[in-house]
Amino acid sequence: MKKYILSFLLLISFSGFAQNTINNYKYVIVPEKFSFLKQKDQYRLNTLLKIFLQEKGFTSYFDNSELPAELAGNRCNALNADVLEKNGMFTTNVTVVLKDCKGNILFTSKEGKSREKEYNTSYNLALRDALSSFNEIQYAYSGPATVQTAAASTTSTIPAGPAVSTPMATTASVPAKVATPELKQPEGTLYAQPTTKGYQLIDTTPKIILTLLTTSSQDYFIAENSNSHGIVFKKNGTWFYEYYQNGNLIAEKLSIKF
């Protein structure tokens, strides 16, 4: 009986340690390609994992993305995510792990399973099953003060002077010359994936909603999708997508997670 009690206490202690350790990290690096697959982001599994981690409160990046200064200068400020596959004759089995920069495993999900025969469906269902393990923990970033200070410092250095305000002033002047735009509210959070010329905004499907092309201002983008083209800009802390539809100016509020 004492043996079982001791084992139970050790398990609780280990779980608490892992939880506290995960909370020390703000960033997670997601590989663009998993080792058990042949192509980058095959079956959209890498995108699914990246989006899920962001929804849980992490700031996630693909391993080939441009990283913020505090992370680019020290990869040990981030966890590394991976998905491992265990071969099964009739099932797809995957496990999600989070490691530190030294390879120490700080979190292991349950083994997600699916019996679907079609690979795309099977891998997606198995990964979502594995990710349900995150519902058992309450992640909240509370990392070392040095990391928080670096993050605050990085944020404070973002230009907020004339380079940003000039295009905003131009955008703000547009409604004065035309009819007041019809305002549409955001339907859900869009996640920004870096591209060679800017970003693509995707939803949780994941589906590409908008393509953004960078300009000389960091808060001003040329935007387009299959139905429209216009501009995306930040005004008073809120992102907007403005475009013309049947001769009418439309302004859509956007909730974007970079």
Kindly report, residue by residue over 220-258, the tens digit of the pLDDT. Answer: 899 988 888 889 998 888 999 988 888 788 889 999 988
pLDDT value at residue 180: 64
Give yes or no for residue 166 having a pLDDT over 70: no
Give yes or no for residue 94 having a pLDDT over 90: yes
DSSP state of 56: T
Q: Which domains does the chain have, with CATH numbers?
A: 2-152 (3.40.50), 158-257 (no CATH)
Query: pLDDT band at residue 170, thresholds of 50, 70 and 90?
Result: very low
Q: How many CA atoms lie within 13 A of 139 on its CB side?
A: 23
Kindly report, residue by residue over 103-144, the tens digit of the pLDDT. Answer: 999 999 999 999 988 888 889 999 999 999 998 888 888 876
CA distance 7 to 127: 29
Give yes or no for residue 205 having a pLDDT over 50: yes
CA distance 158 to 206: 30
Take residue 43 and report the two structure tokens written for it: 């079956």
Kindly report, residue by residue over 54-78, the tens digit of the pLDDT. Answer: 888 999 999 988 888 888 889 899 9
Query: 93: burial class by Cβ within 10 Å (0-12, 13-18, 19+)?
Result: middle
Provide mean pLDDT across the span 184-212.
84
Kindly report, residue by residue over 4-34, the tens digit of the pLDDT. Answer: 444 444 444 334 344 448 899 999 999 999 9
β-strand 189-194 against 198-202: which pairing, if any?
antiparallel
Task: Please name the residues in contact with 159: beta carbons below 8 A apart, sequence gap of 6 or more.
Answer: 218
pTM (whole model) above 0.75: no
